[in-house]
């Protein structure tokens, strides 16, 4: 096990960091988590732990530059790309998206969210850019509707990035999405994930570039995020661990994606803004620090201050908020406690009440592949925890909870 540290004053206590390492190591020693890389940064002090191995059962050790499948923590980066376009007036929050996404024009909406797909009414209004940014455009992956006709149709049409199923290229993906009715009226309910995938297509169509090229030019390269993208080139593939989904009954480690020859070893047909990025702790820290710094990285401005404020504060109306609160509280047993933050900004959760160790105003998100990335303006703190264990069992979620508890107890002042 390796320890890396650069020390400046004013960030974390030595004792607190030692305790954090002990708790993280305990999760690895349990056999439930093969390895992890964790980064915490505050007031110019950055501390990284790389513990355990790339593979279950041994092999190469985890390193600071190990590349991970970021899963849903990709959402915040995808949303930032849209904010660049808002800053340049190439998009506006209340623009109907029909111009660029004609597949989403003239929507039909289910009379009942769990009803048959042909029992619909016309949408009251067009879908807007704001609806997509706040995850309220009318369709999403919904824990409360699993097994319903609309949720089944989302999966059957290959619209959701699931192990063993690759999504089609963007135009075909949009065509399939356009064959489905909405589950709710535009702007009515917060629903997870699908909107972030649509945003990636929107960026590509507005700019005339691929989503990845736009991200590279406007976010990754300016921030020095040299290991972030939608696939891992051959020269770096040894830095990507296999991804596991443990069997919920037996706990057996099942590989859902290997590195060499796996789904992320070549450019994907669909560049998924909802969960397709791969990255490292240092790359993601650069992104989070830019948001904490109101859009500035070094001498360069990536986003305007108002764009960052919009992204990182609660954007839900009281009605949308009531539904999200209800969802989090009543499905906490399914999410292993994730998702109980209160608010939602653009592409990320925002804490609107004090529910655990984190401050009000903390923003970020977690990924189903066992990833977590948040920034805290009140404590001027960033934290990132990356593993290769999917959330088919609670093990990586428990590790993430413990990581954040230890981050906050390690604050020096």
pLDDT tens digit string along 28-76?
999 999 999 999 999 999 999 999 999 999 989 999 999 999 999 999 9
Any domain includes 1: no
Q: Mark whether 247 and 387 lie in a shared domain.
A: yes
Higher pLDDT: 7 or 404? It is 404
Q: Mark whether 357 and 276 lie in a shared domain.
A: yes
Any domain includes 9: no
Average pLDDT over residues 112-136: 98
Question: pLDDT tens digit string along 299-358?
Answer: 999 999 999 999 999 999 999 988 888 877 777 766 676 667 889 999 999 999 998 899
Average pLDDT over residues 273-288: 98
Q: Mark whether 258 and 390 lie in a shared domain.
A: yes
Any domain includes 288: yes
Any domain includes 23: yes
Any domain includes 7: no
Any domain includes 2: no
For residue 284, what is the domain's CATH number?
A: 3.40.710.10
Least confident of 141-150, 200-209, 224-233: 141-150
Q: Mark whether 392 and 245 lie in a shared domain.
A: yes
Q: Mark whether 116 and 185 lie in a shared domain.
A: yes
Q: Mark whether 233 and 247 lie in a shared domain.
A: yes
Q: Tell me the residue range of the domain where 169 lies.
A: 81-209
Are 193 and 72 spatial neighbours (Cβ–Cβ below 8 Å)? yes
Average pLDDT over residues 158-168: 85
Average pLDDT over residues 126-131: 98
pLDDT, residue 334, reads: 66
Identify the domain boundary among 209, 237, 252. 209
Average pLDDT over residues 389-404: 95
Q: Mark whether 193 and 245 lie in a shared domain.
A: no
pTM, two decimals, is 0.96
Q: Mark whether 395 and 347 lie in a shared domain.
A: yes
Q: How many domains does the chain have?
A: 2
Q: Mark whether 204 and 217 lie in a shared domain.
A: no
Q: Mark whether 138 and 235 lie in a shared domain.
A: no
Any domain includes 265: yes
Q: Mark whether 280 and 396 lie in a shared domain.
A: yes
């Amino acid at each position: 096990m390796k320890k890396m540290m650069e020390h400046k004053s004013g960030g974390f206590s030595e004792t607190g960091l030692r305790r954090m390492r002990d708790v993280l190591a305990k999760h690895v020693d349990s056999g439930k988590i093969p390895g992890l890389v964790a980064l915490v940064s505050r007031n110019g002090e950055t501390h990284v732990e790389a513990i355990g191995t790339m593979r279950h059962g041994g092999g190469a050790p985890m390193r600071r530059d190990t590349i991970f499948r970021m899963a849903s923590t990709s959402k915040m980066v995808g949303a930032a790309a849209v904010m660049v376009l808002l800053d340049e007036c190439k998009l506006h929050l209340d623009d109907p998206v029909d111009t660029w996404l004609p597949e989403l024009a003239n929507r039909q909406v289910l009379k009942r969210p769990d009803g048959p797909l042909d029992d619909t009414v016309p949408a009251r209004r067009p879908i807007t850019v704001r609806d997509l940014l706040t995850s309220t455009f009318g369709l999403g992956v919904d824990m409360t509707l699993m097994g319903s006709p609309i949720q089944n149709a989302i999966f059957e049409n290959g619209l959701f990035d699931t192990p063993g199923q690759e999504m089609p290229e963007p135009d075909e993906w949009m065509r399939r999405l356009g064959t489905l009715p909405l589950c709710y009226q535009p702007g009515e309910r917060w629903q997870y994930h699908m909107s972030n995938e649509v945003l990636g297509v929107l960026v590509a169509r507005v700019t005339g570039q691929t989503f990845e090229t736009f991200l590279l030019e406007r976010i990754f390269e300016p921030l020095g995020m040299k290991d972030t993208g939608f696939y891992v080139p051959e020269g770096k593939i040894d830095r990507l661990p296999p991804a596991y989904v443990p069997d919920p009954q037996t706990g057996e480690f099942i590989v859902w994606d290997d590195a060499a020859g796996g789904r992320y070893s070549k450019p994907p047909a669909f560049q998924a803004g909802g969960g397709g990025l791969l990255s490292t702790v240092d790359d993601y820290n650069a992104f989070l620090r830019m948001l904490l710094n109101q859009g500035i990285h070094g001498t360069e401005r990536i986003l305007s201050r108002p764009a960052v404020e919009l992204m990182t504060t609660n954007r839900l109306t009281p009605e949308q908020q009531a539904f999200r609160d209800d969802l989090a509280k009543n499905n906490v047993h399914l999410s292993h406690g994730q998702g109980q933050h209160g608010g939602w900004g653009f592409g990320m959760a925002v804490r609107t009440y004090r529910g655990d160790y984190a401050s009000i105003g903390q923003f970020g998100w977690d990924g189903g592949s066992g990833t977590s990335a948040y920034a805290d303006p009140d404590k001027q703190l960033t934290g990132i925890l990356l593993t290769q264990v999917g959330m088919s069992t609670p093990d990586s979620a428990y590790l993430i909870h413990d990581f954040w508890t230890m981050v906050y107890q390690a604050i020096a002042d």
